[in-house]
């Protein structure tokens, strides 16, 4: 029998997910000798034994993996045989190639949950229970490689019982870096907003009591603080809105289990899978009328965001309170999430009645992720806890490391290196100093974990975005400005490994165009390094700029002025009875003289404007509110549509929806319900878009189509448009990367790399 030796390198999410113990078990079962270790490239194995045994071992490595692992590649080669005895796990060593392999934070596994609820278990009711298959990872990592000493758990010394588990290859906690128990691990504390400790035997029972009594509690979680309250209590939720200064933007709700989730919202099989996935995002689903939730949780919204517990603390709290809890991010509206104890007390002191803290530090904040099922598949809308830092595989390889700084709203950053792109966690809207600091921290942390010194900096062309200014102030030589919608389209291309060209439909609120105007209803023929603007939506004047977005009645008026040749028939339209006539007169004057009324092509503005008109909703309390309601109003079975035109003589072609506006007014006057009008509106936009896509394909040749931009968070629009195109094109929607501006950075990175490659 020949004895052989093999060096095996496994890359991907392979650290902190029980990979080495799993390799150990396979090796022991196949009687292979050697060793396994973590290094900065992933996991490295040296295996020695009879040829058949080593082959079998290799095959099993290739064919299976621990549940939370994501293997992206295995390479192996023969090495000289060593007289190794047994198989061992050796401590981490640095490899030459820098690469992050810190896994994302993982929701508590069912075995750990069972232990926490088992009175006979030594971890009964212990809120920091975890194992190699679950627990905190990204949010507690301080350095790479991912080992306990490099995490915020370094402060806790394992007790003998935990140490035994940690060292026993047959144990579920073998090398579980955050392993802990009530004797040696982190502890809870209840504090008043002034920082005084509240004496209580059982912090969870104490807090559950406070929640049941209508109190607002700041709860320290995995990636930061939540503000929690009883989601069935209108008073509690109303108070939270007031204190958080958040008008109507929906709050996420955490429920104990799937049955409770199904009582609040329509949960299909895909929503079910998302809710129970190890990433545990907030899942947007259609709210049930009889949900039992306070109306204040998501006023007027057709959707509700639901999530299941993802830490033992959540499981215990939900079990103890026995009701759905609002779990919204612990911050004042527009500010980043609080994640350190002292910071939370200072910033949330005016919002929370009580604090549930613990002494395991969070190294960096990570918001809850948000996902939704669109066209039968999950789409990540906000990418943070649970997904970050899982990389996106990219082709062609990045020749030099790229840092992409993202956009202004829902900012994320991205580092591209080799064949992978790492999106950082959701940062938020870069409109205040706190968020800007968080943006800088996010970049610094990514650079540290990846050990990357970027050579190329990518940024949005908008000169006033803080992210663009940051990019331009960086010391690196090579900087590439990327057009907003080009970045959206390439983001979708990168996610699906499309080399281009593609026809990209990029519909969103706004993005800076190469002609310095606001784009946002764009059909592009795009490659990684360039694009041609084939078609655009007829622009609308935004009277007062951003004021038109906050007060979409101004958009409705602009639409009417445009569609009725400056003689808008306002009489009898309910919307305009809700706006003071003087204001209407002022805005008409602004529109007529184009005073402070920049033109914008954004598709989102049509949703805002027509929605405002038909639903008689003059104002939006948060970005996209009226558009969301307008989308939710649509009869999903409606198939009829309004008229539209395309101006084929202009360059780019112009999609002209004026006839639609006129017919909407006709329907309104005829008493047609909003449900039917909204369905026809969606159907019109779909038909008009499909028409220009077909025309683009006739002119430029058939190619794949990608649908991107914030408007494609709208499931009805995405499903209908994909449905209209699928017979002739391969149509791609986003999956793992947000269609909105949270996905921009990926596209920026790929575009910048392609342009930098071309220019050298
Ligand atoms: Zn576990
Ligand atoms: Zn212990
Ligand atoms: Fe955008």
Residue 732 Cα to ligand 2 midpoint, Å, equals: 48
Residue 690 Cα to ligand 3 midpoint, Å, equals: 20
Residue 172 Cα to ligand 2 midpoint, Å, equals: 14
Predicted confidence (pLDDT) per residue in 635-689, tens digit: 999 999 999 999 999 999 999 999 999 999 999 999 999 999 999 999 999 999 9
Residue 244 Cα to ligand 3 midpoint, Å, equals: 27
Q: Domain 375-494+739-759 adopts which CATH fold?
A: Nucleotidyltransferase; domain 5 (3.30.420)
Predicted confidence (pLDDT) per residue in 326-338, tens digit: 999 998 878 899 9
Cβ neighbours around 4 below 10 Å, total:
18
Residue 444 Cα to ligand 3 midpoint, Å, equals: 25
Residue 443 Cα to ligand 3 midpoint, Å, equals: 21
The H or E element spanning position 271 is helix 269-276
What stretch(es) of the chain map to CATH 3.30.420.360? Answer: 375-494+739-759
Please tell me the predicted confidence (pLDDT) of residue 68. Answer: 77
Residue 107 Cα to ligand 1 midpoint, Å, equals: 8
Cβ neighbours around 479 below 10 Å, total:
16
The span from the first CA to the last CA of the chain, in angstroms, equals 54
Inform me whether the pLDDT recorded for 364 exceeds 70: yes
Is the separation of the CB atoms in 192 and 198 below 8 Å?
yes
Q: What is the CATH class of 188-358?
A: alpha beta
The H or E element spanning position 693 is helix 674-700
Give the ligand whose atoms come closest to the C-alpha of residue 109: 1
Task: Give the β-pairing of 303-307 and 282-286.
Answer: antiparallel
Mean pLDDT over 456-485 rounds to 97
Please tell me the predicted confidence (pLDDT) of residue 344. Answer: 95
Bigger pLDDT: 527 or 21?
527
Residue 615 Cα to ligand 1 midpoint, Å, equals: 48
Residue 164 Cα to ligand 2 midpoint, Å, equals: 9
Residue 173 Cα to ligand 1 midpoint, Å, equals: 8
Please tell me the predicted confidence (pLDDT) of residue 65. Answer: 86
Inform me whether the pLDDT recorded for 95 exceeds 70: no
Predicted confidence (pLDDT) per residue in 525-563, tens digit: 999 999 999 999 999 999 999 999 999 999 999 999 999
Residue 108 Cα to ligand 1 midpoint, Å, equals: 5
Inform me whether the pLDDT recorded for 249 exceeds 90: yes
Where residue 40 falls among pLDDT bands split at 50, 70, 90? low
Residue 158 Cα to ligand 1 midpoint, Å, equals: 17
Residue 153 Cα to ligand 2 midpoint, Å, equals: 12
Buried b (16+ CB within 10 A) or exposed e, 11-43: bbbbbbbbbbbbbbbbbeebebbbbbbbbbbbb
Please tell me the predicted confidence (pLDDT) of residue 92. Answer: 67
- Burial (0-12, 13-18, 19+ Cβ within 10 Å), 444: exposed
What stretch(es) of the chain map to CATH 3.30.70.100? Answer: 3-89
Where residue 602 falls among pLDDT bands split at 50, 70, 90? very high
In order, the DSSP letters of 449-490 are HHT---SEEEEES-TT-HHHHHHHHSS-SEEEEE-HHHHHHH
Give the ligand whose atoms come closest to the C-alpha of residue 18: 1
Residue 583 Cα to ligand 2 midpoint, Å, equals: 67
Residue 128 Cα to ligand 2 midpoint, Å, equals: 11
Query: In whole numbers, what is the pLDDT of the chain averaged over residues?
Result: 94
Residue 114 Cα to ligand 1 midpoint, Å, equals: 9
Give the ligand whose atoms come closest to the C-alpha of residue 165: 2
Residue 24 Cα to ligand 1 midpoint, Å, equals: 19
Residue 56 Cα to ligand 1 midpoint, Å, equals: 28
- Closest Cα to residue 600, out of 525, 509, 711? 509
Per the structure block, which two tokens stand in for 265? Answer: 């919202």
In order, the DSSP letters of 105-139 are PBPPPHHHHHHHT-TTSTTTT-TT--BTTBB--GG
Residue 279 Cα to ligand 1 midpoint, Å, equals: 14
Where residue 272 falls among pLDDT bands split at 50, 70, 90? very high
Omega prior to 389 cis, within 30 of 0: yes
Give the ligand whose atoms come closest to the C-alpha of residue 136: 1
Please tell me the predicted confidence (pLDDT) of residue 268. Answer: 96
Give the ligand whose atoms come closest to the C-alpha of residue 176: 1
DSSP-assigned beta bridge partners for residue 46: 7, 35
Mean pLDDT over 221-229 rounds to 96
Give the ligand whose atoms come closest to the C-alpha of residue 747: 3
Give the ligand whose atoms come closest to the C-alpha of residue 603: 3
SS3 category, 24: helix
Buried b (16+ CB within 10 A) or exposed e, 50-65: eeebbebbbebbeeeb
Angle, nearest 10°, between helix axes 744-759 and 484-495? 100
Predicted confidence (pLDDT) per residue in 694-747, tens digit: 999 999 999 999 999 999 999 999 999 999 999 999 999 999 999 999 999 999
What stretch(es) of the chain map to CATH 3.90.870.40? Answer: 188-358
Residue 489 Cα to ligand 3 midpoint, Å, equals: 10
Residue 69 Cα to ligand 1 midpoint, Å, equals: 14
Inform me whether the pLDDT recorded for 255 exceeds 90: yes
Give the ligand whose atoms come closest to the C-alpha of residue 130: 1
DSSP-assigned beta bridge partners for residue 460: 482
Inform me whether the pLDDT recorded for 758 exceeds 90: no
Bigger pLDDT: 96 or 81?
81
From residue 572, how far is each of 564, 642, 754 by CA, in Å?
Answer: 16, 21, 55
| % of the chain surpassing 70 pLDDT | 98
Residue 109 Cα to ligand 1 midpoint, Å, equals: 4
Residue 511 Cα to ligand 3 midpoint, Å, equals: 6
Residue 736 Cα to ligand 3 midpoint, Å, equals: 17
Predicted confidence (pLDDT) per residue in 152-205, tens digit: 999 999 999 999 999 988 888 988 999 999 999 999 999 999 999 999 999 999
Where residue 113 falls among pLDDT bands split at 50, 70, 90? very high
Mean pLDDT over 335-359 rounds to 95
What stretch(es) of the chain map to CATH 3.30.420.40? Answer: 535-733
Residue 309 Cα to ligand 1 midpoint, Å, equals: 13
Q: Domain 3-89 adopts which CATH fold?
A: Alpha-Beta Plaits (3.30.70)
Give the ligand whose atoms come closest to the C-alpha of residue 126: 2
Give the ligand whose atoms come closest to the C-alpha of residue 110: 1
Residue 282 Cα to ligand 2 midpoint, Å, equals: 32
Distance CA 325, CA 204 (A): 14
Give the ligand whose atoms come closest to the C-alpha of residue 183: 2
Residue 743 Cα to ligand 3 midpoint, Å, equals: 9
Where residue 393 falls among pLDDT bands split at 50, 70, 90? confident
Query: At CA 73, angle to CA 67 and CA 76, rounded to 5?
Result: 115
Please tell me the predicted confidence (pLDDT) of residue 98. Answer: 41
Half-sphere exposure of 443 (CA within 13 A, CB side): 21
Give the ligand whose atoms come closest to the C-alpha of residue 116: 1
Give the ligand whose atoms come closest to the C-alpha of residue 180: 2
Residue 159 Cα to ligand 2 midpoint, Å, equals: 4
Give the ligand whose atoms come closest to the C-alpha of residue 129: 1
Please tell me the predicted confidence (pLDDT) of residue 760. Answer: 54
Please tell me the predicted confidence (pLDDT) of residue 149. Answer: 93
Rounded to two decimals, the pTM is: 0.92
Inform me whether the pLDDT recorded for 15 exceeds 60: yes
Residue 449 Cα to ligand 3 midpoint, Å, equals: 28
From residue 651, how far is each of 98, 538, 540 by CA, in Å?
Answer: 47, 12, 17
Give the ligand whose atoms come closest to the C-alpha of residue 66: 1
Angle, nearest 10°, between helix axes 19-30 and 51-63? 150
Residue 640 Cα to ligand 3 midpoint, Å, equals: 29
Give the ligand whose atoms come closest to the C-alpha of residue 158: 2
Residue 130 Cα to ligand 2 midpoint, Å, equals: 11
In order, the DSSP letters of 46-74 are EEEEEHHHHHHHHHHHHH---TT-EEEEE
At which residue do the structure tokens 């000798």 appear? 33
Please tell me the predicted confidence (pLDDT) of residue 510. Answer: 94
Give the ligand whose atoms come closest to the C-alpha of residue 159: 2
Distance CA 198, CA 340 (A): 19
Q: Where in 611-736 does DSSP place strands (E)?
A: 645-647, 653-656, 705-708, 731-732
Give the ligand whose atoms come closest to the C-alpha of residue 160: 2
Please tell me the predicted confidence (pLDDT) of residue 16. Answer: 73
Distance CA 661, CA 728 (A): 29
Residue 522 Cα to ligand 1 midpoint, Å, equals: 46
Give the ligand whose atoms come closest to the C-alpha of residue 521: 3
Q: Domain 535-733 adopts which CATH fold?
A: Nucleotidyltransferase; domain 5 (3.30.420)
Residue 187 Cα to ligand 2 midpoint, Å, equals: 12
Give the ligand whose atoms come closest to the C-alpha of residue 111: 1
Distance CA 650, CA 654 (A): 7
Residue 649 Cα to ligand 3 midpoint, Å, equals: 27
Backbone angles phi, psi at 142, to 5 degrees: -105, -30
Taking a 5 Å cut-off on Cβ, the residues next to ion ligand 2 are 159, 162, 181, 183-184
Per 3-state DSSP, the chain is made up of helix, strand and coil in percentages (nearest 5) of 35, 25, 40
């Amino acid at each position: 029998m020949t004895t052989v030796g093999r060096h095996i390198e496994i890359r991907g999410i392979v650290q902190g997910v029980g990979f080495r113990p799993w390799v150990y078990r396979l090796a022991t079962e196949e009687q292979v000798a050697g060793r396994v270790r973590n290094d900065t490239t992933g996991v490295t194995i040296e295996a020695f034994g009879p040829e058949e045994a080593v082959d079998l071992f290799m095959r099993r490595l290739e064919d299976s993996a621990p549940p939370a692992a994501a293997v992206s590649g295995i390479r192996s080669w023969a090495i000289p045989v060593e007289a190794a005895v047994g198989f061992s796990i050796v401590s981490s060593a640095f490899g030459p190639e820098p690469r992050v392999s810190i896994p994302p934070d993982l929701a508590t596994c069912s075995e750990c949950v069972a232990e926490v609820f088992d009175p006979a278990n030594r971890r009964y009711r212990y809120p920091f229970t975890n194992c190699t298959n679950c627990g905190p990872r990204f949010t507690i990592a301080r350095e790479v490689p991912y080992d306990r000493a490099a995490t915020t758990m370094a402060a806790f010394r394992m007790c003998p019982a935990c140490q035994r588990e940690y060292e026993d290859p047959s144990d579920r906690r073998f090398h579980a870096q955050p392993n802990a128990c009530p004797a040696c691990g982190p502890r809870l504390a209840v504090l008043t907003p002034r920082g005084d400790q509240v004496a209580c035997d059982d912090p969870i029972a104490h807090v559950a009591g406070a929640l049941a009594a209508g109190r607002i509690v700041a709860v320290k979680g995995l990636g930061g603080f939540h503000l929690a309250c009883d989601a069935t209590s209108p008073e509690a939720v109303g108070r939270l809105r007031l204190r958080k200064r958040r008008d109507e933007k929906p709050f996420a709700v955490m429920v104990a289990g799937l049955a409770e989730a199904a009582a609040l919202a329509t949960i299909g099989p895909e929503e079910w899978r998302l809710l129970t996935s190890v990433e545990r995002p907030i899942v947007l689903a259609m709210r049930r009328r009889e949900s039992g939730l306070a109306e204040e949780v998501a006023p007027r919204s057709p959707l509700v965001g639901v999530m299941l517990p993802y830490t033992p603390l959540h499981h215990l709290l939900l079990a103890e309170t026995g009701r759905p809890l609002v779990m919204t991010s612990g911050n004042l509206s527009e500010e980043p999430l609080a994640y350190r104890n002292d910071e939370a007390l200072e910033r949330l002191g005016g919002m929370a009645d009580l604090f549930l803290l613990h002494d395991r530090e969070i190294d960096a904040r990570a918001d809850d992720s948000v996902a939704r099922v669109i066209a039968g598949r999950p789409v990540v809308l906000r990418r943070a806890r649970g997904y970050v830092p899982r990389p996106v595989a990219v082709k062609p390889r990045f020749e030099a490391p790229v840092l992409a700084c993202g956009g202004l709203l829902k900012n994320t950053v991205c580092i591209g290196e080799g064949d992978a792109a790492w999106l950082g966690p959701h940062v938020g809207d870069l409109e205040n100093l706190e968020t800007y600091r968080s943006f800088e921290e996010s970049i610094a942390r990514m650079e540290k974990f990846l050990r990357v010194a970027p050579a190329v900096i990518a940024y949005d062309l908008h000169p006033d975005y803080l992210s663009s200014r940051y990019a331009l102030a960086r010391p690196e030589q090579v900087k590439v400005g990327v057009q907003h919608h080009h970045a959206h389209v390439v983001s979708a291309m990168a996610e699906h490994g499309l080399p281009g060209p593609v026809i990209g439909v990029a519909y969103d609120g706004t993005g800076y165009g190469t002609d310095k105007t606001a784009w946002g209803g764009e059909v592009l023929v795009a490659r990684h390094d360039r694009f041609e603007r084939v078609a655009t939506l007829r622009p609308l004047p935004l009277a007062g700029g951003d004021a038109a977005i906050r007060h979409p009645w101004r958009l409705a008026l602009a639409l009417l002025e445009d569609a009725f040749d400056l003689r808008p028939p306002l009489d009898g339209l309910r919307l305009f009875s809700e706006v003071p006539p003087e204001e209407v007169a002022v805005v008409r004057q602004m529109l007529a003289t184009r005073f402070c009324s920049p033109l914008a092509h954004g598709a989102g503005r049509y949703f805002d404007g027509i929605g405002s008109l038909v639903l008689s909703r003059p104002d939006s309390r948060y970005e996209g509110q009226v558009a969301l309601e307008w989308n939710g109003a649509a009869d999903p079975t409606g198939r009829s549509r309004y008229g539209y035109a395309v101006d084929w003589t202009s360059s780019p072609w112009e999609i002209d929806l004026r006839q639609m506006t006129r017919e909407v007014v006709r329907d309104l006057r005829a008493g047609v319900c909003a449900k039917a009008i909204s369905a026809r509106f969606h159907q019109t936009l779909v038909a008009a878009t499909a028409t220009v896509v077909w025309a683009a394909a006739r002119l430029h040749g058939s190619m794949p189509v990608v649908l991107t931009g914030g408007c494609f968070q709208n499931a009805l629009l995405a499903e209908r448009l994909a449905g209209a195109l699928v017979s002739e094109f391969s149509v791609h929607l986003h999956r793992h990367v947000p269609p909105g501006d949270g996905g921009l950075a990926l596209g920026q990175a790929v575009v910048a790399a392609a342009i930098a490659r071309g220019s050298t």
